[in-house]
Structure 1
Amino acid sequence: RISVCSLSSGSEPPSSPQVVEEGADEEDEELSGAEDADLRASSGRGSLLTRRGITLRVLLKDGLVEPGDGILSIHYLGKTFVGDLLNDGKIRWVETGQIFNSPSAWATHCKRLVNPAKKSGCGWASVRYRGQKLVQYKTTWLHKYQPSADMSLISEGEDDEMGDDDEEEGKTTMLVEDKNKNVPKYSCVCLDRDPHTLVELSAFSAINRFQPFNVAVSSNVLLLMDFHCHLTTSEVVGYLGGRWDTNTQLLTVLRAFPCRTRLADKDAAPAVEEEICQNLFMRGLSLVGWYHSHPRGPALPSLQDIDSQMDHQLRLQGSSNGFQPCLGIICGPYYHGNQGVASTITPFWVVPPPEQRPNDYGIPVAVEVTYVQDNFLTTDVLNEMMLLVEFYRSAPDLVQFSQMWSPNTSILDKIKVCYNFSSSYIHKQTKHNIHFHDLQLTCSLR
């Protein structure tokens, strides 16, 4: 599959440092200076500290770590975050200048930018000081100052770092066969499957999550995408352009950009992608997703599709380290298991795998989408349809529209039914019309 364009929407850093306390685990919150002093005065060096007592301030005070710029880091699902360790034990995120009171607060904030479903950050096992996990410095502190201490007194050990949410995710990352269907569901780990194995989508509610963003898709996008997928018996791919509003958490898909190339044609792919990138830039749009077809199969993601979607989601994060969703859409135009003659359209997203098992497949989930009817069919869409017709006109895998789709319906009639949803406003609002002819499709202006 051709790679996605490296585009992202930037975000301005805050004008002044902000102290962020979100996501701190109860046992991982930093003690105040007074609490720290009281604790040491009452317990002494020889007494055992509580789980909350072993903090970055303690490690700094006893010389196990030193303050410095860029010496803290988090690596999560292909993204790297860098932080400064301040003299008071707080963390300053280099990207934005935000101040965090604890490792878990910083880790939770960063991980939620990549994976909004993340509940906690597992800070002490996620944050590294000069390349080594902070939790190892806690262990060193205990061995040095409290050698008789039970290792469970470490505020967050390796075992604790899994967290309830990761255990929950771990239970839903394995494939098993549904007895009533040939499509497997996610409920257990299976990494040795055929990459073309189709996977049934989960609902966000089924994995105890909320959909982290809203999606609105233009009817023109649906029309062009479905048209592209109907033209050929081979799999096609294209990109989606639109806008992401961080305030309303709304992803608006405004344009489809079909790739007029063969999936195996690696030589032509860069030029096609460059053209799409320029079209996005000229229209002031961002890359917000991709689509592809399963011409004669169910509109469900394969294991390969899940990997591709996860890769696209990570690429769209860009350099801003801000969350931006990437929508995947699968179109199944000629699957006889579809209800009626219309294509099955499946918007989906992938919940990342647990960080303890980064090589696992993510969990594909169905995305609820609102389809917005456009007032007119744009010239851009019509031009794109004509270019697609020219591209496939002489191809050996061009659909033969005179053939029968069912005993009483030809493929041409099937396609007409698919576009009935748009005819009511296309004919009323514009002078453009789509004419379907036997054996080939042409788009013309009245």
Structure 2
Amino acid sequence: MGSEPPSPPQVIDEGGDEEDEELSGGEEADLRVSSGRGSLLTRRGITLRVLLKDGLVEPGDGVLSIHYLGKKFVGDLLCDGKIRWVETGQIFNSPSAWATHCKRLVNPAKKSGCGWASVRYRGQKLVQYKTSWLHKYQPSADMSLASEGEDDDMGDEDEEEGKATVQTEEKNRKSKPELHDISLVQRRGDRDRVPVRYCTLGTRDSARDPHTLVELSAFSAINRFQPFNVAVSSNVLLLMDFHCHLTTSEVVGYLGGRWDTNTQLLTVLRAFPCRTRLADRDSAPAVEEEICQNLFMRGLSLVGWYHSHPRGPALPSLQDIDSQMDHQLRLQGSNNGFQPCLGIICGPYYHGNQGVASTITPFWVVPPPEQRPNDYGIPVAVEVTYVQDNFLTTDVLNEMMLLVEFYKAAPDLVQFSQMWSPDTTILDKIKGSLSGHAPKDQAYSQILEHVYNQLRNTH
């Protein structure tokens, strides 16, 4: 859902491991001990061009892949031995350059990509094709040449990822919301869920309930600094809070704003509620397209998403953690560089909240330690500066009325006349929660009263 047209293909060579680098034709020849097919070609000289020339691999779209920390990257193998990343169209000179680039998007601390051990051709590691070449053309060569140093950087990380890939992808398709496919978001039950500490989770377990809530960690608790600053407009909070109050079912929406690379400031300026049922595959594409156009017309970028836990704590579930990691990767991959993606959870009707105000929780996910690639990401609390707007925009008011219209006949519409507490109706609770975000000017209070009157008339 980016608002900017894709940039032309860019050739990237990130270095990676020195001995994994692709060589020019002249360099390949120099690395042969003698001329001719029977010459001994060093391991470094066996490049994708060599494998293509000798027929061990063939060019093709989507034939290359990388699996890293639960994420999958797909690439095209070009006729000249270069790699085109399907996500962005960028061109990479070598497996190491592509692997390093992709892995740094997931884990910025990653130093190298170890391409031949990480990149797979039609499901099989490239290093195995290198070994096959040696068996075929240099059977007398020391086979250690084919594997020496290939896995120094990886350990068992890639192998474990490979084993878990099919299971993980199938699980993700069924459970987690895609940034570009609202229809995949599944409703959660309203049962009480007791949050667990991240340190108790351990390795992923398919038997574990994906709705398990996880307490947030602080960046300082994992020896990190928050890598960006965040400012959120009060109008964003008001519209998001209003949306989450209207139904007993979970809702979702997107966040628009701007990312300043110089100041490392993410400014969230607009909420875009998704006016669709979460499992409605028919209407989801149209809603997505409308939001995409709205972002573009306002000169905004997609900077995050929000969703509700209607009657539970505003803490991420295991499913939310995977979704947030996926969203972070999508935004980074689309912009060829680091850009944070903010997740926000709103808990409007949890009786553990203080007073009538919803609990609003901004969060981010840090990738698991590299030596434990099958652990869950680490959910961390994001410190946010809330900026009070001086007035309600026409956009916000129109969106509120559209939401009332959308939900007014829904079976899961909240009964606003019912009591939230012995002396407070649910409608009064909504007013109290939204009052913390609304401008203090009396004129805007009267405008909001008009919206509340519409709520009264929905039953």
Residue 356 of structure 1 pairs with residue 371 of structure 2: yes
Residue by residue over 1:120-143, the C-alpha shift from the partner in whole angstroms, topping out at 9 and shown as x without a partner, is 323112334577532113323554
| 8 Å contact kept, 1:85–1:91 | yes
1:112 pairs, out of 104, 113, 117, with 104
CA deviations 1:267-310 (Å, max 9, x no partner) are: 55455444434433432334333211112211112233345445
Q: Give the conservation status (yes or no) of the 8 Å contact 1:43–1:49.
A: no
Q: Aligned pair in 2 of structure 1 residues 274, 54: CA closer, same or farther (>3 Å)?
A: closer
Contact 1:54 1:155 in 2 (8 A): no
Determine if contact 1:11/1:320 at 8 Å carries over to the other structure: no
Count of aligned pairs: 417
Task: Write the distance in 2 (CA, Å) between the matches of 1:80 and 1:137.
Answer: 21
2: CA distance, partners of 1:65 / 1:170: 20
1:9-158 alignment runs, 5 A limit: 20-22=12-14, 24-25=16-17, 28=20, 102-113=94-105, 116=108, 118-128=110-120, 132-143=124-135, 153-155=145-147
Q: 1:261 to 1:106 in 2, by over 3 A?
A: closer
Between 359-368 and 85-94, report the one with greater CA deviation.
85-94
Secondary structure at 1:178's aligned position in 2?
A: helix
- Comparing 368-377 with 113-122, greater Cα deviation is found at 113-122
Task: Please say which of residues 261-270 and 62-71 is displaced more in the overlay.
Answer: 62-71
Aligned residues of 1:173 and 1:363 also touching (Cα < 8 A)? no
1:118–1:165 CA contact under 8 A, matched in 2: no
* 1:288-437 matched pairs, under 5 angstroms: 288-310=303-325, 312-313=327-328, 325-350=340-365, 362-392=377-407, 397-399=412-414, 405=420, 411=426, 414-416=429-431
- Compare 69-78 and 269-278 and name the one that shifted more: 69-78
- Percent identity, aligned pairs only, is 90
- For residues 334 and 168 of structure 1, do their structure 2 counterparts lie closer, same or farther at Cα, with a shift above 3 Å needed? farther
TM-score by length of 1: 0.63
The answer to whether the Cα contact below 8 Å between 1:23 and 1:119 also exists between their aligned partners in 2 is no
1:16-53 CA deviation, whole Å, 9 max, x = no partner? 99775535135545689999888766999999999867
SS in 2 for 1:81: strand
Segment of structure 1 superposing worse, 212-221 or 198-207: 198-207
User: Structure 1 residues 391, 13: closer, same or farther in 2, change over 3 A?
Assistant: closer
| Preserved contact between residue 303 and residue 340 of structure 2 (Cα < 8 Å) | yes
Say which structure is richer in helix. 2
State how far apart, in whole Å, the 2-side matches of 1:312 and 1:422 are: 35
Q: Do the aligned residues in 1 keep the contact of 2:64 with 2:74 (CA within 8 Å)?
A: yes
Give the 3 Å change call, closer, same or farther, for CA 248–98 of structure 1 in structure 2: farther
Given that 1:50 and 1:153 are in contact with CA atoms closer than 8 Å, whether structure 2 keeps it comes out as yes
1:174 aligned counterpart, secondary structure: helix
User: CA offsets per residue over residues 215-261 of structure 1, 9 Å max, x none?
Assistant: 43222101111122233333222222233456665443211122344
Distance 1:209 1:144 in 2: 49
Supply the distance in 2 between the matched residues of 1:82 and 1:385 (Cα, whole angstroms): 40
> Relative to structure 1, is the Cα distance of residues 390 and 55 closer, same or farther in structure 2, using a 3 angstrom cutoff?
closer
Output the aligned Cα RMSD: 7.1
User: SS in structure 1 opposite 2:164?
Assistant: coil
Contact 2:219 2:380 in 1 (8 A): yes
Q: Which segment is superposed worse, 279-288 or 143-152?
A: 143-152
Shift of 1:345: 1.3
- Work out whether residues 225 and 258 of structure 1, in 8 Å CA contact, stay in contact via their aligned partners in 2: yes
Q: 1:54 to 1:303 in 2, by over 3 A?
A: same
Q: Which runs of 5+ in 2 are unaligned?
A: 173-192, 199-207, 432-442
Secondary structure in structure 2 of the residue aligned to 1:434: coil
Q: Distance in 2 between matches of 1:253 and 1:205?
A: 24
Counterpart for residue 183 of structure 1: 194
Alpha-carbon spacing, 1:162–1:240, altered in 2? closer, same or farther (3 Å):
same
Whether the 8 Å CA contact 1:17–1:99 is kept in 2: the answer is yes
The TM-score normalised by the length of structure 2 is 0.62
After the TM superposition, which of the residue ranges 46-55 and 99-108 deviates more from structure 2?
A: 46-55
List gaps (5 residues or longer) in structure 1: 1-9, 187-192, 436-446
